Every structure is written in C-alpha cells, then in structure tokens.
Amino acid sequence: MHDLIERLEGFGSPRVALVGDFMLDCYVYGDVERISPEAPVPVLHAVRKERAAGGAGYVAAAVTAMGGRVGCIGVIGADEAGEQLLERLRQAGADTDTLMRLQGRPTAVKTRYVGLAQHRHGQQMLRVDHETVDPLPPEVETRLREAAKKQLAQSDMVVLEDYNKGLFSENITPWLIADARAAGKKVIVDPARIENYRKYRSCTLLKPNRYEASLASGIQIIDDVTLAGAAAKLGEITDAEAVLITLDREGAFLYRRDGVGRRIAHRRPRSVYDVTGAGDETLAVLAVALAEGCDYEQAVELANVAGGLEVERFGMVPIRRDEIVDELRRMIGLRSGGKVLPRERLAEEVARRRAHGETVVFTNGCFDLLHAGHVRYLQQARQIGHCLVLAINSDDSVRRVKGPGRPVIGQAERAEMLAALECVDYVTVFDEQTPVPLLELLRPDILVKGGTTPVVVGRELVEGYGGKVMTMGLVSGLSTTTIIDRILNGGK
C-alpha cells in the first residue's frame, strides 16, 4: 500500500486521447409529497436542475480530476445541448477541439428525475433518454479517424468508450485501434453491451463488466471457474494483452494473455449509494495509472479505490488524486481516510456534497472519554442525512470548558478514534468557545445536539438560512440548566 501512495503522489500529467460517446446528463431534483389524481404515479415537485458531462464526457472530467490531460474525439449535435456539453467539458479542463458537431444529429441527453425522500435522500425515479444511435455516414467516419490521428501524436494513452450509440462501427473501430498501435500507444477499450467483440481486436486492455462479459463470451458468470472462462474467451476473441472484468462490490478479475488470472478485491466494504459513473471513474483511473507506468495490478488497485469512493456519492462526482491518497492512507492507518480535515477543506467537501443533493448533518462536542452512548448518538445523527460532520473541541478549548486536568485524550487521538467510526464522515477541530464560526462557514442542513430540550448553539443562525435544529434525548439524569450549559460551552 505504501508503494501505491508513493507511486500516485509521483504522477505527472499524462495526456489521454479519448474517443467515445459524449452525452449531456441532466438531473431534475424535487420533492415527492403526493400521488397524482390522474394515475397511481408520484408527483415530482421540481426544485432544481443540474447538468453535467456524461458518458465519455464523465471519463474526461475524471481524467482531469486525476491530474491528467484529455483530448476529446467524437460527435455531438449542433444544438443547445451540445453547447452545454462543450461548456462543461471546457470547465473540466478538457480539450474539445476534435469534438465534431453535426447538423441533424442531436446531442445525446440523459435526464434523470430524482425524488428527495423526506427532503433528504436522492432516489432516482425515472430516466429519459433523447438520442440517435444510427451509424455515422462514411465521410464522417473518415473525418473522425483524422481527428483521432491528430490527438495520437501528443497523447500517452488511447481510450475507447463505447456506449453503442452508433460511433464505433465495424469499420472505424479497427481503424482507430490500428492507428493507435501503429503509433506505439496502448489502447484501453470499455466495450458496449453487445454480443460480438471482434471489432475490438488488438486492443491492449479490454474492460467489460460482468454482464457485458457474460453476453460477449457466451458464458454465464456464476463463480470463479466461469469468471476465468469468460475472461479467457474474451482474450481469445480480441487478442487483448489483458482482460479486466469489473465485479461491482466484489472488485475485479484481471486475466492476462499468458493465462494467469486473479481477483483483485476492494480493500474495504462500501456503502453503495449510487453506482452511476463508477465504471467510467474506474476507466479514467486505469488510463492515467497505466500511462504513468503502473503495472496492471497497481492500476486496478487504484481504480478499485476510486470506484469505491464514487459509489458512496450520489451522481457522477469525479474523484481527485488526493482523495485516493487519503483513502489509501486511511487503509494503512496513517490517518483516517481524509476524514480529519481543516475547516477550509471541509467547507469544500460540504459544498460539493450539498451540490449533489445530499443533506449535511452537524454536531459537536469534546468527546474526551468516548463511550457507547456517544457512539449511539453519532449513529442516530448520521441516520438523519447523508453526511455527518463532527466538530470536536481542541485541547485548549476543552481545558477552558472542563479545567486544567482535561482532556484526558489529546485532540489528534480523539479525532482519529472518532473518524474510525463508520457513521462519521468528517471530523474537524475547533478552538473557539462554541462552534458558531464553523456553522457560519459550513451552513449545515441539520444541526443536532444531545438533550431533552431544543436548545443548541447557533439555533438562530441555522434556522435563519433555512436549516433545521434537532435534539436527541440521549442525556439522562441532567437538569435542563446543565444541558444548556454544556451545549453553550461546546461540551456534551
């Protein structure tokens, strides 16, 4: 694990030539509070709309988030959706000069309608696709091949992202692979869910998921024997140097041309919140890692970590290189997976999660002597939303509150122990008498405190911007005055 961290921290900015089906993803978020009187269907009261680069566009954004550079090759429509897609790709830092805009062929748009259950949990209700999947005209294929050749000379890696939208025909796909191999470039193929993979022959790495692999190999994957058999069959069909079958929460299976295959499992179990974009994230990390000289095992390890982080978030959120480093460090105990953050970095994380429809819960305390009551309290607080931020008093702050003999446990150890709890998403340390400055910065959706009365630090502040205040009756045997005093002084 140490060697992966060292390798990742030494990455440069490799350039990826990305040929693929570029799409615009649209998210319509709303509250579902009633059933339609016209039919037994839920009524979504839309509250906001977001757009993002999807399909190969998400791969491009994920490559740049990893510190790489990317040249986009493909076709989109000469329409408003195409303009919006180009804007988002450019914002992500992608080179769009070789994205061809075609008249009469609309930009593919996927619109997801997301209900916010109890105003908190994002649940996809319906997806509507607007697209054309007809094959490209021969003259457009020729232009596309020339565009790809322009990118090859300046790229370290070539990626083909096939969503079966008409771009990767039986003609152009072999051309693209042959041109790349002739230029000495490795080619990663993320194949479509189709039966015949012969058009991908001579690629370097083939990356299907288990369902795509079962369909294309004709072998139903049900155990390790059939898994190895399917991988071997796909290797035979495509003559790929390696085949990587992704297996969702079970990690991945890597098969080499020499007949050696092995499972590469996730390093820790994941709470799967949304699988959207996980495969694209994995592809992006593989491309960057292999371009930087990692071997297949190292690249898959890094891709597994990135894919695992992706499924814990709603929607498609590109994973940054430093986030993977943080996660690797957490795995080896150097620190708690990037959970312990300074307030400036924490503010960025909170803003990002809220922007994707997540409800941020905040609580605070000294937590000098951690006990089972604290754990139950934090578990209940986490159940209220998607993300629990825990602010703990610094050592100086605890001494001011509880006297010169406290704390018994220093702030670094307290933060590490609390971050080790699965229910806690982030921990930060504050030195002030109360956490009001943090509340002003983070603006959590829900502020939680233990007690039997609705008295919390910053109640007026939180309710002033539309947040909620909740109390939990976990403090027993204390008077209301004692509870209020503890809360106002940052204790629990």
Average pLDDT over the chain, rounded to whole?
A: 86
- Tell me if 36 is assigned to some domain: yes
One domain, residues 111 and 177: yes
- For the stretch 333-382, pLDDT in tens is 544 446 888 898 899 888 877 876 788 999 998 998 888 888 988 988 88
Residues 321-346: b if buried by 16+ CB within 10 A, e if exposed? bebbbbbbbbeeeeebbbbbbeeeeb
Domain-terminating residue out of 263, 297, 331: 331
Which position among 21, 156, 280, 326 bears the catalytic label? 280
User: How far does Cα 315 stand from its chain's mean position?
Assistant: 7
- For the stretch 8-50, pLDDT in tens is 888 999 999 999 999 999 999 898 888 999 999 999 999 889 9
Strongest mean pLDDT among 166-170, 368-372, 471-475: 166-170
Paired tokens of 48: 């906001």
One domain, residues 77 and 217: yes
Q: Collapse the DSSP code of 181 into the 3-class scheme (helix H, G, I; strand E, B; otherwise coil) and give the result.
A: helix
- Tell me if 212 is assigned to some domain: yes
One domain, residues 385 and 286: no
Residue whose structure tokens are 């022959």: 201
Q: Evaluate whether 459 touches 490 at the Cβ level (below 8 Å).
A: no
Q: Evaluate whether 233 touches 218 at the Cβ level (below 8 Å).
A: yes
Give the mean pLDDT of 399-411: 87
- Tell me if 336 is assigned to some domain: no
One domain, residues 327 and 353: no
Q: How far is CA 95 from CA 58, 64, 263, 351, in A?
A: 13, 10, 35, 27
How many folded domains does the chain comprise?
2
One domain, residues 191 and 228: yes
Q: Give the pairing type, strands 468-472 and 446-450.
A: parallel
Give the mean pLDDT of 186-208: 97
One domain, residues 163 and 134: yes
N-term to C-term CA, the chain: 38
pLDDT at residue 1 in the model: 65
pLDDT band at 479 (very low <50, low <70, confident <90, very high): very low
Q: For residue 473, what is the domain's CATH number?
A: 3.40.50.620
pLDDT band at 473 (very low <50, low <70, confident <90, very high): low
One domain, residues 440 and 314: no
Q: Is the pLDDT score of 159 beyond 70? A: yes
Percentage helix, strand, coil, to 5, in the chain? 40, 25, 35
pLDDT at residue 358 in the model: 80
Q: Is the pLDDT score of 64 beyond 70? A: yes
Q: Cβ contacts of residue 257 below 8 Å, gap of 6+?
A: 235, 239, 240, 241, 242
pLDDT at residue 124 in the model: 85
pLDDT band at 269 (very low <50, low <70, confident <90, very high): low
| Sheet containing strand 108-117, strands side by side | 42-55, 22-35, 108-117, 121-130
Domain extent, residue 44, equals: 2-331
pLDDT band at 383 (very low <50, low <70, confident <90, very high): confident
Q: Is the pLDDT score of 195 beyond 60? A: yes
Q: Collapse the DSSP code of 29 into the 3-class scheme (helix H, G, I; strand E, B; otherwise coil) and give the result.
A: strand
3-state secondary structure 337-394: CCCECCHHHHHHHHHHHHHCCCCEEEEEECCCCCCHHHHHHHHHHHHCCCEEEEEEEC
One domain, residues 357 and 290: no
pLDDT at residue 334 in the model: 41
Domain-terminating residue out of 278, 298, 331: 331
One domain, residues 266 and 196: yes
For 412, list phi and psi in degrees, rounded to 5.
-65, -45
- Tell me if 289 is assigned to some domain: yes
One domain, residues 21 and 165: yes
pLDDT at residue 368 in the model: 84
What percent of the chain has pLDDT above 70?
A: 87
Distance CA 213, CA 134 (A): 24
- For the stretch 419-434, pLDDT in tens is 888 889 899 999 998 8
Q: For residue 34, what is the domain's CATH number?
A: 3.40.1190.20
One domain, residues 207 and 182: yes
| Rounded (5°) CA angle 123-127-129 | 160
One domain, residues 60 and 135: yes
Strongest mean pLDDT among 222-236, 327-341, 427-441: 222-236
**280 catalytically annotated:** yes
What percent of the chain has pLDDT above 90?
A: 57
Overall pTM > 0.75: no
Q: Cβ contacts of residue 482 below 8 Å, gap of 6+?
A: none
pLDDT at residue 420 in the model: 87
pLDDT at residue 128 in the model: 96
